[in-house]
Amino acid sequence: MEKEEKVAAPVPAPEAEPKKAEKAEKPKKDKTKKKGKKVLLAILIILLLAGIGVGVWAGVTGKLDFIFNPNDTSKTELKRTEPVTAKSEGVYITDVSDVVDAVMPSIVAITSKTVINSGFYGPMLYGYGYGGSYVAEGAGSGVIISESGDNIFILTNYHVVENASELSVQFIDDKSCDATVKGVSKRRDIAIVSVSKEAIGSETLAKIKIATTGDSNALKVGNGVIAIGNALGYGQSVTVGVVSALNREVTTDSYVQDMIQTDAAINGGNSGGALLNSKGEVVGINSVKYSSNYSSDSSIEGMGFAIPMSVIAPMLEKLIGGEDDEGITLGIEGYMTTSGAMSGYKLPDGLYISAIAPGSNAANSDLAIGNILTHVDGSEITSIDSLKKVLNKKEKGDKIVLKVKYTERAEYKEKEIVITLN
């Protein structure tokens, strides 16, 4: 930064006094010239200060100039990313009011009541405790997915209705009705509940709608999404975000499945609510979120998960019809050979089969106790969860290829076993 220098105004030289003899008059000063000099001086000072200011600004902003002049590549060697033209679904959703207005009639709040046996509690008196139970109330969400005859059917999470002794559904006009569980899939964490049209009434029926489902397989990371649900039981609320990741492996209640990860806020009570694309189509059912706990110092934000509709859709007819999805099991028990208990036996890596349930898929195959299961459908078995993940994607009638190692003449050999699941 240049040092600012003060400029002194020029002082005119003194005029010599005229001789007395000549009695000449003292010449008058030219006021116009003096005024012009002052103006010129002011202009010079302004230009000097402006130059200093421009120099400072150039020093601060010179490195960022390419941001404001995107076509000027003289200041950087890096190539620029090409501008992205927003498609109809948008790069990021800012105003979702039209979508919310269209979809909200399909979203419901679900209240559950569950009897909890408290066992013994309170102070001991003469060696006896006080036993009892209490009713716990839970909040969740649901999506009107279908209707048939005298009933409408609502899709929600299994954990929203699990062990509930009473269920109540609240519609968009605040009308509440009793609901009944029709079918559940514990492994997928989904359930269908029904409400009779007679209980709903014609006035409310005219206000509610069946949701339109979308193709979750068409989602891309970065797509805008909207989550609607009964957050914390306060009533329906809306959050927006993007698809953070796809096929994210999540374990809930010992079941492993791939979910949609989003940074749209998912809170307690949002479970069973809709994850929507920008067209207002249901592409997932909000299920779980990651959060901090007492054992972690880290803060976890923006990690919510939804079950993809591509997983749910094939099961809807069965659940609406009142059938439960029991899931697929092989019917085996065993231990990982890499565990501490078996590491000293120098066995091949895999799942050592220690027991086979009578009448199970394993019992109706060539599997035997003592076999070591190493691969299922080409996936290496590195843990019990890795086996569950493969089985969790299977349905009855599907075929599964097992690769096992077995002993013959004191050495391990390998073979494949094909099982048709039931």
In which band, very low, low, confident or very high, does the pLDDT at 65 lie, cut at 50, 70 and 90?
Answer: very low
Q: How far is CA 368 from the centre of its chain?
A: 43
All residues at 6 or more sequence positions from 248 whose CB lies less than 8 Å from its CB, including other chains: 258, 259, 260, 261, 305
Tell me: pLDDT of 130 over 60. no
> For residues 88 and 185, which has the higher predicted lDDT (pLDDT)?
185
Strands 190-196 and 237-252: unpaired
CA 370 – CA 333 distance, rounded (Å): 11
User: How large is the average pLDDT for residues 209-214?
Assistant: 92
Q: What angle do CA 218, 221, 226 make, to 5 degrees?
A: 80
> For residues 98 and 5, which has the higher predicted lDDT (pLDDT)?
98
User: How large is the average pLDDT for residues 248-264?
Assistant: 85
User: How large is the average pLDDT for residues 264-274?
Assistant: 88
- Only one residue has tokens 């009892």, namely 132
In which band, very low, low, confident or very high, does the pLDDT at 117 lie, cut at 50, 70 and 90?
Answer: confident
Provide the pLDDT for residue 27: 44
Provide the pLDDT for residue 66: 38
> For residues 3 and 236, which has the higher predicted lDDT (pLDDT)?
236
Residue 382's Cβ-count burial label (10 Å; 0-12, 13-18, 19+) is middle
| Phi (first) and psi of residue 8, to 5 degrees | -80, 145
- pLDDT mean across residues, the chain: 78
> Six-digit token pair at 331?
């019917």
What separation in angstroms does the CA of 309 have from each of 123, 249, 299, 312, 313? 50, 16, 30, 5, 6
In which band, very low, low, confident or very high, does the pLDDT at 207 lie, cut at 50, 70 and 90?
Answer: very high
> For residues 140 and 130, which has the higher predicted lDDT (pLDDT)?
140
In which band, very low, low, confident or very high, does the pLDDT at 413 lie, cut at 50, 70 and 90?
Answer: very high
Tell me: pLDDT of 1 over 80. no
> Six-digit token pair at 412?
């391990």
In which band, very low, low, confident or very high, does the pLDDT at 62 lie, cut at 50, 70 and 90?
Answer: very low
Provide the pLDDT for residue 97: 87
Provide the pLDDT for residue 49: 55
What letter does residue 344 receive in the DSSP assignment? G
Using a cut of 0.95, tell me whether the model's pTM lies above it. no
Tell me: pLDDT of 215 over 90. yes
CA 71 – CA 58 distance, rounded (Å): 18
Contact present, 112 and 160 (Cβ < 8 Å) = yes
Least confident of 16-20, 195-199, 207-211, 307-311: 16-20
What separation in angstroms does the CA of 334 have from each of 102, 234, 364, 374? 51, 46, 18, 12
User: How large is the average pLDDT for residues 127-155?
Assistant: 83
Contact present, 391 and 323 (Cβ < 8 Å) = no
Residue 268's Cβ-count burial label (10 Å; 0-12, 13-18, 19+) is middle
Indicate which residues carry an active-site annotation.
159, 189, 271
Q: Which domains does the chain have, with CATH numbers?
A: 1-75 (no CATH), 97-205 (2.40.10.10), 219-312 (2.40.10.10), 332-420 (2.30.42.10)
Q: How far is CA 166 from the centre of its chain?
A: 30
Direct distance between the N- and C-terminal alpha carbons of the chain, in angstroms, rounded to an integer: 82
Tell me: pLDDT of 58 over 80. no
Q: What is the DSSP string of 111-138?
A: EEEEEEEEEEEEEEETTEEEEEEEEEEE
Provide the pLDDT for residue 133: 72
Tell me: pLDDT of 50 over 60. no
DSSP-derived 3-state class of residue 193? strand
Residue 350's Cβ-count burial label (10 Å; 0-12, 13-18, 19+) is buried
Tell me: pLDDT of 235 over 70. yes
DSSP-derived 3-state class of residue 178? strand
Percent of the chain residues past pLDDT 70, beyond the cut: 70
Which alpha helices (H) appear in 21-172, and where do they start and end?
31-61, 65-68, 97-103, 158-161
Short-list 78, 82, 52, 57, CA closest to 66: 78
In which band, very low, low, confident or very high, does the pLDDT at 143 lie, cut at 50, 70 and 90?
Answer: very high
Least confident of 132-136, 202-206, 324-328, 390-394: 132-136
Contact present, 398 and 390 (Cβ < 8 Å) = no
Tell me: pLDDT of 147 over 50. yes
Provide the pLDDT for residue 48: 54
Tell me: pLDDT of 166 over 50. yes
